[in-house]
Amino acid sequence: MNFFLLSLAIIVVGGTIPLLTFRHFVLTKCIYVSVTAVGCISGLSALLSAASSPESLAWSWAWQHVFTLSFSFDSLSLFFLLPVFLICPLAAMYSFFYFERAENSLKTAVSYFFTNILIVSMALVTAASNMLAFALVWELMSISSYFLVMYDYEKVETRTAGYLYFLFAQGGALLIFAAFGVIFSHNGSFDFSRVVGIPDSAKLVVFFLAFLGFGSKAGVFPLHIWLPHAHPAAPSHISAIMSGVMIKMGIYGILRMYFMLGATDIRLGQTVLILGMISGLLGVLYALGKRNIKRMLAYSSVENIGIILMGAGFGMIGIAKGNSLMAGFGFAGCLLHVLNHSIFKSLLFLGAGAVIRKTGISRVDLLGGLMKRMPITGKTFLAGSLSISGLPPFSGFVSEFLIYFAAFQGLKYNHINLLLSIIAIISLAAIGGLATFCFTKVVGIVFLGEPRTEKVRLATDGGWTLTVPLSLLAIACLGIGIFPAPFITLAFSGLADVSFVSQVDPQLVQTIGTNLGFASRLFLIIIFAVILLRKALYRRKENTAGPTWGCGFTRPTTRIQYTGASFSRSVIDFFRPFALSRETEVRLKKIFPERTRYASWVEDVAEVGMRQGLALPLLSLLGKFRWIQHGNVQLYIGYIIVAILILLLILFI
Amino acid sequence: MESFVSILIALLSAPLFPGIILKVKALFAGKKGPPLLIKYYTLMKLFKKGSVYSTTTSFVFKLGPIVSLAGGIMILLFFPLGAIAPVLSFHGDVLVLFYVLATGRFFTIAAALDTGSPFQGMGAAREAFFGTLAEASIFAVLILFYRMTHSLSFGEYFTGANPISLTGPAGALLLLVIVALFIVLLTENSRVPVDDPATHLELTMIHEVMVLDHSGPDLALIELGSFYKLFFYSAFLAMIVCPLSPSGGLLNLPVFYGIVVLVYMTIGLVESIMARFKMNLVPKFVLTSSILVVFAAILTMGFIK
């Protein structure tokens, strides 16, 4: 029996036990968390032992005597398994804190079950090595995550969000299966290893179909609109798993499809790069505009998927151009950002979940002053924010640096590739700046300043099941930033099976890692030196405390603090055609005006466009065919018979 | 050894130069002006004082000055002042350094929001916005320099095999860079016409309003950090305007500092003859710089085969 399968079995068992023991709430939680953790850790160790010989883990079995489901591993799938087994046990541990109400124990048990099905199906997605196996586990992943989003099914918003997610998941799957269909029609085989043989013209079609399908799972603009609805609806650790790990399966699919096709057309890379830039810029822009903390984090996932795709785009252009440095660093940056994003995004979602759980408020503009009340949540959230803004000495910078490195390689070319590289580098810089803007806003408005509402005043940190996952993730953010060399090597080892990329000189990779690590540590050392200098300057001095200087205003209240909406207003207006900033009109009528209301919000162009350009026309068109659906079962059977007859006629004539 | 002497001189002399700006402005206005060493006196005065902390603030408030000063020191360590090899250098250091400055900005903004004051929030929003735009210009400059020298480090730019030089084959493009970098310098260091460090109304400030609540040694650290940042940008400009040969050693320093003084005098001149822009014109002003450099980068297709 293979060790990897055994760990998956443990995870399935860990998910099933709660269904039987749900009447004992705390016991159920304990069993679930410990069994799942054991399963994930043994999965991780199977992963490590397989790193040297991935072939040893391959297995397959015949299903229904017709289909063969086969699974095998290569370096890329092993790399994508890392976040699955690293993040999921932490999220499971956090669920101990998050699910606190015993009266929901059945719901909790069901959620546990689907969580573990999701973990197993994600692990199998990376391992699937023929189309049938892939389709099966991909659907399992989509459906189990759909049930997880629907945890609070009593709420209308949750049901809407779940429906939207279901539509996008199934629509995406449809496109992926269409791509598989095109492949099958050319070579008549389900096996991934034979895909490379199909003609070049078909490769282009297959890649773009699959890109759209996987892109809708990953959250590529404009197919991202399910993300900002599904994440606020789902429980926070589920958001962490979905945003940190599951949407990366979309990226995995894109990379797998690309390497499988062996296509070297430069247009693939250019398209991916352009879509990456658009996702990155607009994602961070909408993140700035949103008020709900989890919705904002969801948009920031769109931004990071954009950065990841930019890395992949540079990698593909590098392969098309025969530039192994550009290809290697592009793909390595892409992979490392996948790992980094899974760490800091789950950290941020878990932190946001703790805030929401403790205060009952998810609107950024109503929070404030939590750094003193929830110090561990606050500090780890700060670490995550620095990391996601791509600032040294934290982890996000390392992967962005690799992508920059690839992008600067692109400047060696002329014409379209030069222009694309120029725009990409400037967008990457602008994304970094806007992300800093966005996360100073979240940290500043939510955790700093004074509480804006009374409920916030009473919040406290949760127990160790909350603080341990947060602290571990925050340490990982800083650790990757300070000692990046092994992680950069790890990202390159994820590409070991891509023949062209493995030509990159390992010496150069090592040097870059060492230099980056040296710079990060130097920065920390200078910071500590300045802290010592400051300590020396404050020796034997009296510091006094007082209220904040109100610029002459003597009766301040906490409500006059700057809000997130006003903080981001100027930038949103600057990007006006892309971010639709709306506000209610305030007009004073009468001589003695009545109480007025004011509201402002930012709309997503993709969402508005899809609603008005696609959904509404489709609804009104389909409404005209309502008469077909009359509720008479006998006639429905008649429809089926007619349809079968027509199909038979078409086939045999 | 030379590198250490040069960085030491820079770290000690940086507070001198803002005095020159004040002197130029005073002379323009027909006044005598403060002594040249005024900034040293200010620093000494602040170092001796204690601080007042708002009860609203947390540890982030104290980190703001520290991280921004650390960023200022770090970037000078990697810069070849007067074409003397920098203390440290590696391929890709420019990317790290500008991001280190961004980390400083992150903490300055967070410290401003930590006070809970609406004015400081306003300043923070403006700083974040204009900083982002200036960052785009900086990266456009890096793109152009990569096209010209195929390197990503300050050391390589000015002391490497094919250094950046106004007299080189693509030297004319540097004229555009000089204008753009000067705009970035004015933006990043909150000078007129982007921001007015001498204004008295909090509503119209950008950088000054963010540090309103800092006092005593904390304020001194902020001032010192901003001196280093201004010195770095001026040195960057000076090295482009007047490229020096690395073989000159310490003898380069007088020429280099002469040019640096000229840059500061230009800042003083600009401040004397211009008023600050309306806030909504500033983004356009800053964007001008990145457009100029991107234009130059595209022109390299003609120069560099």
pLDDT of residue A56: 67
Residues of A in contact with B96 (CB under 8 A): 392, 397, 401, 516, 519
Query: How many domains are there within chain A?
Result: 2
For chain A, give the number of residues. Answer: 653
- Residue B116 and residue A419: Cβ atoms within 8 Å? no
Do residue A381 and residue A245 come from a single domain? Answer: no
Closest CA to A227 of A314, A281, A167: A167
Rounded Cα gap, residues A609 and A612, in angstroms: 5
Q: Do B93 and A519 touch (CB under 8 A)?
A: yes
Statement to judge: residues A338 and A243 lie in one domain: no
Q: Does residue A410 belong to any structural domain of this protein?
A: yes
* B299 interfacial to chain A (CB closer than 8 Å): no
Both A522 and A404 in one domain: the answer is yes
Shared domain check, A287 and A434: yes
Residue A177 lies in a domain: yes
- Residue A19 host element (H or E): helix A3-21
Q: Do B139 and A547 touch (CB under 8 A)?
A: no
A405 part of contact set with chain B, CB < 8 Å: yes
Q: How many Å lie between the alpha carbon of B67 and the closest alpha carbon of chain A?
A: 6
CB < 8 Å & 24+ apart, contacts of A424-427 = A424/A273, A424/A276, A424/A277, A424/A310, A424/A313, A424/A314, A425/B139, A425/B142, A425/B143, A426/B136, A426/B139, A426/B140, A426/B143, A426/B290, A426/B294, A427/A277, A427/A280, A427/A281, A427/A310
Residue A530 has its nearest CB partner, among B77, B88, B221, at B221
Residue B35, domain extent: 2-303
Nearest CB to A408 within list B99, B138, B146: B146
From chain A residues 561-580, the ones with a CB under 8 A of any chain B CB are: 561-562, 566-571, 574
Residue of A nearest to B217 (CA): A537
Which chain B residue has the Cα nearest residue A443?
B110
Q: Give dist(CA A179, CA A213) in Å, integer.
A: 9
Range of the domain at A438: 264-534+559-585+596-616
Answer whether residue A381 is part of any domain: yes
The residues near A161 (Cβ < 8 Å, ≥ 6 apart) are A149, A226, A229, A230, A232, A233
The answer to whether A376 and A97 have CB atoms below 8 angstroms apart is no
Low-confidence ranges of chain A (pLDDT < 70): 1, 54-56
Shortest distance, CA B190 to any CA of chain A (angstroms): 17
Report residue A596: phi and psi, to 5°: -115, 160
Quote the minimal CA–CA distance from B239 to chain A in Å: 23
* Residue to test with chain A: of B46, B49, B103, most A Cβ within 10 A: B103
The reply to whether A57 and A115 lie within a common domain is: yes
* Residue contact A534–B221, C-beta within 8 A: yes
Interface mutation target, options A447, A551, A553, chain B, most CBs of B under 10 Å: A551
CA distance A225 to A231: 11
Residue A567: closest C-alpha in chain B = B125
Query: What's the rounded Cα separation, in Å, for the pair B88 and B236?
Result: 16
Could B106 and A389 be called an inter-chain contact, meaning their C-beta atoms sit closer than 8 Å? yes
Min Cα separation B140/chain A (Å): 7
Which ranges of A443-505 would DSSP assign to H, the alpha helix? 454-457, 464-482, 485-493
CA dist A290 and A134 (Å) reads 36
Residues of A within 8 A of B146 (CB-CB) are: 408, 411
Summarised one tens digit per residue, pLDDT across range B115-134 is 988 888 888 999 899 999 99
A130 domain residue, yes or no: yes
Smallest CA–CA distance, residue B187 to chain A, in Å, is 15
Return residues 206-245 of B near A (CB < 8 Å).
Answer: 212-213, 216-218, 220-221
Measured in angstroms, the CA of A81 and the nearest CA of chain B are apart by: 30
Q: Looking at CA atoms only, how far is residue A561 from chain B in angstroms?
A: 5
Strands (E), A16-111: 59-63, 67-71
The 10s digit of each residue's pLDDT in B225-257 is 999 999 999 999 999 988 888 888 888 899 999
- Do residues A240 and A270 both lie within one domain? no
Q: Per the CB < 8 Å rule, is A450 touching B116?
A: yes
Q: What is the pLDDT of residue B260?
A: 94
Is the CB of A530 less than 8 angstroms away from the CB of B73?
yes
Tens digits of residue pLDDT in B202-233: 777 888 888 888 999 999 999 999 999 999 99
Interface test with B, best of A426, A428, A439 (most B CBs within 10 A): A426
CA-to-CA separations, B101 to A382, B46, B133, in angstroms, rounded: 17, 24, 14
Is position A496 within any domain? yes
CA distance A264 to chain B (A): 25
Which of A207, A231, A254 is the last residue before a domain boundary?
Answer: A254
Q: Are residues A275 and A248 in the same domain?
A: no
Give the confidence band of B303 by pLDDT, cuts at 50, 70, 90: low
* DSSP output for A358-409: HHS--BGGG---HHHHSHHHHHHHHHHHHHHTT-TTSHHHHHHHHHHHHHHH
Question: Is A88 inside a domain boundary?
Answer: yes
Residues 284-313 of A with CB under 8 A from B: none
CA B278 to chain centre: 22
Structure tokens at A43: 């999965």
Average pLDDT over residues B139-162: 88
In this structure, is residue A626 part of a structural domain? no
What DSSP element (H or E) covers A544?
strand A544-546
With an 8 Å Cβ cutoff, is A450 touching chain B? yes
> How far apart are the CA of A609 and the nearest CA of chain B, in angstroms?
28
Contacts of B295 in chain A (CB under 8 A): none
A559: amino acid identity, one letter = R
Question: Is residue B25 within 8 Å of residue B49, measured between CB atoms?
Answer: no
Chain A nearest C-alpha distance from B274 (Å): 24
Contact B80, B256 (CB under 8 A): no
Pick from A254, A276, A311: which residue ends a domain? A254
Distance CA B207, CA A439 (A): 19
Domains in chain B, number: 1
pLDDT at residue B304, as a whole number: 57
Residues A248 and A302 in one domain: no
Q: Are A572 and A607 in contact, with CB atoms under 8 Å apart? A: no
Do A165 and A297 have their domain in common?
no
The pLDDT, as a whole number, for residue A1 is 47
Q: Which residue has the tokens 């820079």?
A: B10
Q: Which of A448, A510, A512, A521 to mutate to test the interface with B (most CBs of B within 10 A)?
A: A448
Residue B213: which of A519, A549, A567 has the nearest Cβ?
A: A549
Strand A67-71 to strand A59-63: parallel, antiparallel, or no bridges (unpaired)? antiparallel
Q: Which amino acid is at A445?
A: I
Please indicate, yes or no, whether residues A242 and A380 belong to a single structural domain of this protein.
no
Q: Which residues 68-97 of B have a C-beta within 8 angstroms of A?
A: 69-71, 73-74, 77, 88, 90-93, 95-96
Give residue-wise pLDDT tens across range A85-110. 999 999 999 988 888 887 788 888 89
pLDDT for B72 equals 94
d(CA A551, CA A568): 22
User: Has this prediction a pTM greater than 0.90?
Assistant: yes
One-letter amino acid of A280: G
Higher pLDDT, B301 or A344: A344
